[in-house]
DNA sequence: TATCCTACTGATAGTCTCTCTCACTTAACT
DNA sequence: AGTTAAGTGAGAGAGACTATCAGTAGGATA
């Protein structure tokens, strides 16, 4: 993937970063819709063509989620005696706990941007459909059942659905940690109410 | 809203219908992306300007869900002794049971189109976020708790999430009734596993 | 060091969704 | 019949995104 050796690769990485930084800065100050790709390109000192070479759409500058793979990895590493929901709570705590305050603040700013812009929110939710499939597979592996098992799908959907519901209703300009707390409480509620796989 | 009295209103309703029919026919034969608004307008014998006067975006021709309000109404009418999930199952059965085979076929064709086109799928999922809020309120009213109660939100999200999960993984070109059966089975699973409000 | 080759880039032109404005027509009301 | 308000079409234009093509700079080779 990313060689990092060679001037070419380093330059590419720098351009990628420059575009992303310029874009997020402009989004923050002007708003998402009010910012054109042309402005981003100019601020990052590249041509509009180059913008689209690095990001297939304007949305992608914001959407890309670095935490997702970390969560999956952490989930897979949780001890087998934990229930699926307990394992999820533990991995959330582990991944977010490992973030620096700066990273956490940036992540939540990104979340607010996504929740606030319909275009981005829709795109994010669609991406979560993919996340759902991955989660269903991880669950299936954990309990030794096929991933297309109805109970596995329903359980995965229920857990993810509850999480999204909390995300959509809690993260709107709230304190940084509110979402985390409510997410955990919602998961505890599902667990306590007897939802099992 | 729709008076239906007066030539003006009738003409408007006819134009709305003509555009929608032309659009869906073209989408079916050419595909969604391959069909331009200009083509739809021409087929419906209106100007492109008029298209956007009736539908704010190209997506909206497909997205608008006539069943949603029916479901909410039916849900509200279910006897109080039914659990929320039982009430939901009953209203699904009632609303879909009242559809003619033609209506049912059209509805499922619409669903397939939405599931298959990323743009539409994303938009639909975002609209479901609004549906979620309505559902949470209906639930809250049913159990006599505030709608922003965490358990209410988590429960609503879990139920809706399981439903969406089944929808996304079952309705892809399957038999018409597969989604209905799996949806009902998923709800039964949630109920049986002890999920309560 | 000189020379290819390949990657990346910028410029240009074009498509399509969607917005806005303006003039024209036609339904509805007095 | 005359007036008002609503619906329509035409046109210009913004902005996201695509395709093409020529120029250029990195990286390998002699």
CA B63 – CA B32 distance, rounded (Å): 13
Residue A24's CB is within 10 A of a number of other CB atoms, namely 19
Whether B197 maps to a domain, the answer reads: no
- Choose among B150, B164, B182: nearest Cβ to A189: B150
Residue A171: what pLDDT? 58
Per DSSP, A194 falls in state: T
Low-confidence ranges of chain A (pLDDT < 50): 1-2
Whether A112 maps to a domain, the answer reads: yes
Whether A172 maps to a domain, the answer reads: yes
Has residue B171 got a pLDDT over 80? no
Instruction: Examine the domain organization and report whether A33 and A129 are in the same domain.
Output: no
To 10 degrees, what angle do helices A150-170 and A84-97 make? 40
Instruction: Examine the domain organization and report whether A172 and A140 are in the same domain.
Output: yes
Residue B23: what pLDDT? 98
Residue A4: what pLDDT? 56
pTM > 0.95: no
Q: What values do phi and psi take at B152, rounded to 5? A: -60, -45
**Cα B169 to Cα A136, B129, B132, B177, B192, distances in angstroms:** 11, 19, 20, 14, 22
Last residue of a domain, one of A25, A40, A58: A58
- The integer distance in angstroms from the CA atom of B36 to the C1' atom of D17 is 15
Is pLDDT larger for residue A1 or for residue B196? B196
Taking residues B83-87, what's their average pLDDT? 96
Q: Do residues B90 and B82 make contact, with C-beta atoms less than 8 angstroms apart?
A: yes
Instruction: Examine the domain organization and report whether A116 and A146 are in the same domain.
Output: yes
pLDDT confidence bin for B176, thresholds 50/70/90: low
Cβ contacts of A62 within 8 Å, gap of 6 or more: A23, A24, A27, A32, A110, A113, A114, A120
Q: Characterise A25 by phi-psi region: left (phi > 0), alpha (psi -120 to 50), beta (else).
A: alpha
Nucleotide lying nearest to A54, CA to C1' measure: C8
Whether A197 maps to a domain, the answer reads: no
Residue B173: what pLDDT? 57
Taking residues B4-22, what's their average pLDDT? 89
Whether B26 maps to a domain, the answer reads: yes
CA A115 – CA A196 distance, rounded (Å): 30
Average pLDDT score over chain B: 93
Instruction: Examine the domain organization and report whether A129 and A186 are in the same domain.
Output: yes
Q: Do residues A187 and A161 make contact, with C-beta atoms less than 8 angstroms apart?
A: no
Cβ contacts of A3 within 8 Å, gap of 6 or more: A9
Has residue B83 got a pLDDT over 90? yes
Whether A46 maps to a domain, the answer reads: yes
Q: Do residues A49 and A38 make contact, with C-beta atoms less than 8 angstroms apart?
A: no
Last residue of a domain, one of B22, B41, B58: B58
Strand D contact nucleotides, protein CB < 7 Å: 6-11, 15-20, 26-28
Residue A174: what pLDDT? 63
Residue B54: what pLDDT? 97
Residue A55: what pLDDT? 97
Domains: count for chain A: 2
Tens digit of each residue's pLDDT (9 = 90 or more) over B97-152: 999 999 988 898 899 999 999 999 999 999 999 999 999 999 999 999 999 999 99
Instruction: Examine the domain organization and report whether A75 and A43 are in the same domain.
Output: no
Burial B141-170 (b: 16+ CB within 10 A, else e): ebeeeebeebbbbbbbbbbbbbbbbbbbbb
Residue B66: what pLDDT? 87
Has residue B7 got a pLDDT over 90? no
Q: Do A162 and B162 touch (CB under 8 A)?
A: no
CATH classification at residue A16:
1.10.10.60
Residue A2: what pLDDT? 44
B11 touches strand D (CB under 7 A): yes
Q: Do residues A102 and A115 make contact, with C-beta atoms less than 8 angstroms apart?
A: no
Q: Do residues B152 and B120 make contact, with C-beta atoms less than 8 angstroms apart?
A: no
Instruction: Examine the domain organization and report whether B46 and B18 are in the same domain.
Output: yes
Instruction: Examine the domain organization and report whether B106 and B83 are in the same domain.
Output: yes
CA B162 – CA A162 distance, rounded (Å): 9
Residue A1: what pLDDT? 43
Instruction: Examine the domain organization and report whether A162 and A78 are in the same domain.
Output: yes
Has residue B2 got a pLDDT over 50? no
Per DSSP, B177 falls in state: T
CA B73 – CA B64 distance, rounded (Å): 17
Q: Do A153 and B165 touch (CB under 8 A)?
A: yes
Nucleotide lying nearest to B50, CA to C1' measure: D8
Q: Percentage of chain B surpassing pLDDT 90?
A: 82
Instruction: Examine the domain organization and report whether B35 and B84 are in the same domain.
Output: no
Last residue of a domain, one of B58, B74, B102: B58
Residue A189: what pLDDT? 96
CATH classification at residue A167:
1.10.357.10
Instruction: Examine the domain organization and report whether A40 and A104 are in the same domain.
Output: no
CA A196 – CA B30 distance, rounded (Å): 45
Whether B83 maps to a domain, the answer reads: yes
Q: Do residues B162 and B186 make contact, with C-beta atoms less than 8 angstroms apart?
A: yes
Instruction: Examine the domain organization and report whether A40 and A84 are in the same domain.
Output: no
Instruction: Examine the domain organization and report whether A97 and A135 are in the same domain.
Output: yes
Residue A170: what pLDDT? 80
Whether B10 maps to a domain, the answer reads: yes
Domain of residue A37 covers 2-58
């Amino acid at each position: 993937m990313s060689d990092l050796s060679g001037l070419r690769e380093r330059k590419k990485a720098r351009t990628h970063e420059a575009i992303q930084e310029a874009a997020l800065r402009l989004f923050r100050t002007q708003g998402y819709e009010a910012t054109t790709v042309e402005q981003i390109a100019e601020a990052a000192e590249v041509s509009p063509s180059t913008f689209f070479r690095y990001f297939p759409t304007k949305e992608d500058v914001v959407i890309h989620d670095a935490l997702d793979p970390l969560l999956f990895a952490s989930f897979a590493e949780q001890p087998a005696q934990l229930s699926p929901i307990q394992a999820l709570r533990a991995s959330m705590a582990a991944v977010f706990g490992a973030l620096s305050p700066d990273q956490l603040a940036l992540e939540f700013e990104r979340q607010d941007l996504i929740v606030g812009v319909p275009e981005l929110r829709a795109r994010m939710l669609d991406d979560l459909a993919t996340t759902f499939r991955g989660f269903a597979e991880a669950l299936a592996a954990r309990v030794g059942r096929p991933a297309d098992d109805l109970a596995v799908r329903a359980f995965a959907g229920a857990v993810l659905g509850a999480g999204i519901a909390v995300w959509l209703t809690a993260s709107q300009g709230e304190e940084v940690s509110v979402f985390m707390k409510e997410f955990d409480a919602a998961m505890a509620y599902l667990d306590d109410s007897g939802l099992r796989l």
